[in-house]
Amino acid sequence: MPSLILQPLIENAIKHGVGSSAGILEIVIRATRQGETLELSVENDLESVPPRPTKKPAGTGTGLRNVADRIKARFPEVGAFISGVVAPNRFRAAITMPLRLA
């Protein structure tokens, strides 16, 4: 597994999910074996009401784009990265890569 590959996904979930909410939201981190591949995912709640106004700039997508580029470079034939809203008020970022056992 590429080093520090989950860090930007977790930071994204905190910044854009939990960080913009006044309430309690959930972040779920999963690792699942699918045959000869490994799927890592970070899923978080999104606030159901419009976010509170803040002075922080909106995200530029750099963290997610960097993860996608790293996966594509490291596993060009079998790696994948997808992200987006998967249900009302729910966002998921998922990486698929070859499973390599130690």
**Per-residue pLDDT, 100:** 86
User: Domain spans of the chain?
Assistant: 7-49+59-98
Q: What is the pLDDT of residues 1-20, one digit of tens each?
A: 788 899 999 999 988 777 76
Regions of the chain short of the pLDDT cut 50:
51, 55-57
**Per-residue pLDDT, 50:** 54
Contact 6, 87 (CB under 8 A): no
**Per-residue pLDDT, 93:** 96
Nearest to 43 by CA among 22, 29, 62, 23: 29
Superfamily (CATH) of domain 7-49+59-98? Histidine kinase-like ATPase, C-terminal domain (3.30.565.10)
**Per-residue pLDDT, 60:** 61
81: Cα within 13 Å, side-chain hemisphere = 20
